[in-house]
């Protein structure tokens, strides 16, 4: 992941900080989201854009490694538990992402 040093005036920083507090997110996540919106015309597919936004928000979990055929019911239950655990807390963030996209389309 690359870093970008960006100088902003105090008023803009204060507004970004306030928005981050209000949305329970980091200033970095807010800035990434804003910059990604500007870069939306970069030729990426919708899936790639969603993946980038999710990565910027820290929502991507590492891929699950699944055996081709579970050998026992407990393997399936363990996988289910891992999937549920990796998605814990994501609902409100997804709701917000959908709402923001909806607002942009209106």
pLDDT digits (tens, 9 = 90+) for 31-66: 888 887 776 666 777 777 777 777 777 777 666 666
How many CA atoms within 13 Å lie on the side-chain side of 58? 9
Buried b (16+ CB within 10 A) or exposed e, 80-104: eeeeeeeeeeeeebeeebeeeeeee
- Tell me the whole-structure pTM to 2 decimals: 0.38
Residues 9-28: tens digit of each pLDDT: 999 899 999 989 988 999 99
């Amino acid at each position: 992941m690359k870093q970008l040093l960006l100088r902003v005036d105090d008023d803009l920083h204060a507004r970004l900080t306030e928005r981050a507090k209000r949305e329970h997110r980091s200033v970095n996540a807010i800035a990434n989201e804003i910059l990604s919106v500007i870069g939306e015309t970069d030729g990426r597919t919708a899936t790639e854009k969603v993946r980038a936004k999710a990565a910027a928000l820290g929502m991507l979990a590492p891929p699950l490694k699944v055996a081709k055929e579970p050998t026992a019911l407990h393997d399936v239950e363990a996988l289910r538990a891992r999937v549920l655990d990796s998605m814990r807390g994501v609902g409100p963030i997804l709701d917000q992402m959908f709402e923001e996209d909806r607002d942009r389309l209106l």
